[in-house]
Amino acid sequence: MQTTDPRLRPGCNTRLMEQRVNFITLATRDLEAVRTLYRDGLDWTPFIDVPGEIVFFQVGPGLMLGLFDAEKFDEDLQREHTTTGATGVTLSHNVENRDEVRATVDAMAAAGGTVLKPAQDGAFGGIFHAHVADPNGIIWEIAHNPGWHVDDDGTVSSA
């Protein structure tokens, strides 16, 4: 009797789900405030922008960040309006040096972000970082870590 591995696609020997993420979509209470921060304050170019609903930014090779109005997010999930925003999550943006950490934090604060932790040495790994919340509480870690490097093609390596 032949058994099938439930982790493989039916009829072939490849994984059912490849090890990758293409979209990160976060619910947001104030879509206009986050649009202003990312598009106007940080000069990010929207990939798709649907007023009152969602805005997508391409943030890496094959990776999109979607910021979805919280009510529309709940409607899409076909549930009661319970979403208050993203919690227990940080998005990290790695930069080349300490000055870039400071400059990025300053730009985010000027565009409506809230500095939660000013730029400082971290507790481990030689990291220098800060944490900034966007207008809806999405927390960004802005970091310089000499032990990590992101190549132009998106490959991450560590020393």
Reported residue count of the chain is 159
pLDDT of residue 15: 64
| E-assigned strand segments in 53-127 | 54-60, 63-69, 90-94, 114-121
Name 114's bridge partners: 133
pLDDT of residue 100: 95
End-to-end alpha carbon distance in the chain: 48
pLDDT of residue 4: 66
Per-residue pLDDT of the chain (159 residues; tens, 9 = 90+): 555 666 666 666 676 677 778 899 999 889 999 999 999 999 999 999 999 999 999 998 889 999 999 888 888 877 887 777 677 788 999 998 999 999 999 999 999 999 999 999 998 778 999 999 999 888 999 999 988 888 888 788 887
Contact 23, 59 (CB under 8 A): no
Q: How far is CA 112 from CA 10, 49, 67, 127, in A?
A: 49, 20, 16, 25
Report d(CA 81, CA 37) in Å as an integer.
Answer: 25
Q: Which two tokens stand for residue 113?
A: 């972000």
How remote is the C-alpha of 122 from its chain's centroid?
21
Report d(CA 33, CA 71) in Å as an integer.
Answer: 15
